[in-house]
Amino acid sequence: MLNAAKKLAENLSCWRESVVAVPLDGGLTNTNFKVHYRNADYVVRIGQDIPEHGIMRFNELNASRAAYRAGISPEITHSEAGAMVIRFIEGETLNAAAVRKPDMLVRILALLKTCHLQVPKHLNAGILSFWVFQVNRHYAATLKQVQSHYCGELTQLMTLNAALETAVGRVNISFCHNDMLAANFIDGGEKLWLIDWDYAGFNSPLFDLANLAANNELSQQQEFWLLESYYEREVSDKLWRSYNAMKCASLLREALWSMVSEHFTELDFDYRAYTAENLRRFYSAHSQFVDIAEA
């Protein structure tokens, strides 16, 4: 698989001379390479559509180009079937500890507001939506279809998913990134970049906020700051309930994503352990949500 991806990366039509594709770490839905070409460095992302995860490369390309035009993501210099070439960004890839630093959270918040409000101005027609509760239902249906060993848990999980959807209530819609992993932020010093638009689409900004907190284990104090700063008002009981319901759904989605990946993905990653950890975190967050909802 890696050799085929490397061969494709090295033989793209944009190269006018021989190049060497050097594998990059990371990437759970793509195989990534670094290429040096004519005094510049590029990242080549190799990946086809992944229907079981709702990933459509036309959507990723559209979002990536719009994010570049909005000034928050690197330039796409070339694309063809199964491949995107992206200008390489010098900087530090964040980890969860870096995300949790107060000064970094301020920068991330500004970046998210730009994503939500400015990227849509640069999109071409034909962009997907990302409603986490429907994503979770799709994953459950996929797991039943392949007769996953998790099938015995799905009825309960989908019952909780429906109740969380009701608890979130009505939402405003923005254009969201929908994958707030620390590794999708690159600190270039003067500029913070947001990369990897596989799951991008119209959604509630509440999901990006909850996903950021869940993926990077923000403290409750940081969560309150995030909500107050984003919405520029005090956090009401209603907003706090909706946010916590969305955070639970985000954790459930991460667990279901991993369950599905066990069946469909050949990357060297311990999906079973990742599933178990996210299920544990989901049930813990849901217990706290129940306390909040009943207060």
Q: How far apart are CA 118 and CA 104, in angstroms?
A: 21
Between helix 271-294 and helix 151-168 the angle, nearest 10°, is: 40
Per-residue confidence (pLDDT) for residue 295, from 0 to 100: 74
pLDDT digits (tens, 9 = 90+) for 119-176: 999 999 999 999 999 999 999 999 999 999 999 999 999 999 999 999 999 999 999 9
Starting at the edge strand found earlier in the chain, the sheet holding 185-187 runs 92-93, 185-187, 192-194
Mean pLDDT value across residues 89-117: 97
Angle at 27 between CA 245 and CA 180, to 5 degrees: 25
Give residue 58's pLDDT band: very low, low, confident or very high (50, 70, 90): very high
Per-residue confidence (pLDDT) for residue 294, from 0 to 100: 84
Q: What's the mean per-residue pLDDT of the chain?
A: 95
Which residue type occupies 190?
Answer: E
Per-residue confidence (pLDDT) for residue 27, from 0 to 100: 66
Q: Collapsing DSSP states into helix, strand and coil, what is residue 76? A: strand
Instruction: Please give the structure tokens belonging to residue 52.
Output: 């079981």
Mean pLDDT value across residues 32-49: 95
| CATH 3.40.190.10 correct for 2-87 | no
The candidate with the shortest Cα–Cα distance to 29, out of 261, 194, 201, 256, is: 261
Q: How far apart are CA 58 and CA 124, in angstroms?
A: 11
Per-residue confidence (pLDDT) for residue 247, from 0 to 100: 98
| Model pTM above 0.85 | yes
**Does position 1 have pLDDT exceeding 70, yes or no?**
no
**Does position 260 have pLDDT exceeding 90, yes or no?**
yes
Give residue 30's pLDDT band: very low, low, confident or very high (50, 70, 90): confident
Helix (H) or strand (E) run with residue 253 in it = helix 237-264
Please compute Rg for the chain using Cα positions.
Answer: 19
More confident residue, 2 or 66: 66
- In the chain, where does the domain assigned CATH 3.30.200.20 lie? 2-87
Q: Collapsing DSSP states into helix, strand and coil, what is residue 52? A: helix
- In the chain, where does the domain assigned CATH 3.90.1200.10 lie? 92-294
Pick the CATH number of 92-294 from 3.40.50.970, 3.20.20.140, 3.40.190.10, 3.90.1200.10: 3.90.1200.10
Q: How far apart are CA 104 and CA 185, in angstroms?
A: 10
